[in-house]
C-alpha cells in the first residue's frame, strides 16, 4: 500500500520529531547546538513557520511549530539539513546521512493538546534521566516560557498568552503546569500520534479536520462495515 503524504495543515500547530540515523548522536558539543538553532531560526523565518517550543536531545529533537502553508515544514527541515549535515560531517570527518529518514509529525488540536505538547517537549530531558528539572537543561525553550531567558526562536502561541494578563502571571502559570508533570497516557498519546503521523485531538477535531482537508487523519476502523444497521448494540 502506498504511503500517505505527510499530514500538514496550514495555521495549525504540529509536533515534530527528527531522530539521528541508528540513534547516533546529532549534537556533540555546544557549537553543534548553537549552529543548529541558528539555522532553525533562519529556516523558520524563511519558510514562515512559527516555533512555539523545542528541545535538542543528544540523538533526536522535538519541535512544536505552526506552518503558514502546506510546504513550510518540509522546506524548513530540508533547508536545515542541507546546512547542518555538511557542517557536522566536516567537523567530525564522517560521510553519509545523519538523520533517520523523514521527520515525523502530527497535527495538534490546539485547545486540547498544545500546552500538553509544549510541556512534553521540555520535560523530555527529565524523562530521559539527564536532569532533575527542565530548568537544568540548556537546549530547550523552557527558560523562555518561565521568563528566565528570552529566546528569539520562539513565537508565543495565543494559548500561552491566555495563561495570564502579565508576563509574570504567564510564566508562573506555565511553571506550575510543568511541575504537574504528564501522565503516562499523555506521553504515549503524543509519541504514538507523532510517530504514526495521525492527528491528535478530540473526535470532533478529527472529524472536522477530515471534512476540511478531504482525507483520513487517523487509522481506519477495523472490520467490514455493516451492510445493514444492527438492531441491537454490539
- pLDDT at res. 231: 35
**Which pLDDT score, from 0 to 100, does residue 215 have?**
78
Domain topology for 14-204: Alpha-Beta Plaits (3.30.70)
The ranges assigned to domains in the chain are 14-204
Report the mean per-residue pLDDT for the chain: 90
How far out from the chain centre does Cα 160 lie?
A: 16
pLDDT at 225: 44
84-107: b (≥16 Cβ within 10 Å) or e:
bbeebeeeeeeeeebbbeebbbbb
Residue the block writes with cell 495565543: 158
pLDDT in tens, 35-82: 999 999 999 999 999 999 999 999 999 999 999 999 999 999 999 999
| pLDDT, position 233 | 32
Q: What is the mean pLDDT of residues 146-171?
A: 96
Amino acid at each position: 500500500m502506498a504511503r500517505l503524504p505527510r499530514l500538514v495543515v496550514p495555521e495549525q500547530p504540529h509536533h515534530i520529531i527528527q531522530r539521528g540515523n541508528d540513534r547516533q548522536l546529532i549534537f556533540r558539543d555546544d557549537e553543534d547546538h548553537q549552529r543548529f538553532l541558528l539555522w532553525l531560526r533562519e529556516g523558520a523565518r524563511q519558510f514562515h513557520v512559527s516555533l512555539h517550543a523545542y528541545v535538542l536531545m543528544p540523538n533526536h529533537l522535538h519541535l512544536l511549530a505552526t506552518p503558514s502553508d502546506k510546504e513550510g515544514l518540509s522546506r524548513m527541515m530540508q533547508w536545515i539539513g542541507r546546512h547542518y549535515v555538511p557542517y557536522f560531517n566536516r567537523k567530525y570527518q564522517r560521510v553519509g546521512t545523519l538523520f533517520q529518514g523523514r521527520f515525523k509529525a502530527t497535527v495538534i488540536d490546539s485547545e486540547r493538546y498544545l500546552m500538553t505538547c509544549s510541556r512534553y517537549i521540555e520535560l523530555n530531558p527529565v524523562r530521559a534521566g539527564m536532569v532533575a528539572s527542565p530548568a537544568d537543561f540548556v537546549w530547550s525553550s523552557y527558560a523562555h516560557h518561565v521568563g528566565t531567558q528570552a529566546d528569539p526562536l520562539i513565537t508565543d502561541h495565543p494559548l500561552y498568552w491566555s495563561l495570564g494578563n502579565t508576563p509574570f502571571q504567564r510564566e508562573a502559570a506555565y511553571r506550575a503546569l510543568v511541575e504537574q508533570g504528564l501522565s503516562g497516557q499523555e506521553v504515549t498519546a503524543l509519541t504514538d500520534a507523532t510517530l504514526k503521523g495521525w492527528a491528535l485531538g478530540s473526535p470532533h477535531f478529527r472529524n472536522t479536520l477530515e471534512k476540511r482537508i478531504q482525507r483520513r487523519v487517523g487509522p481506519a476502523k477495523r472490520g467490514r462495515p455493516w451492510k445493514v444497521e444492527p438492531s441491537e448494540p454490539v
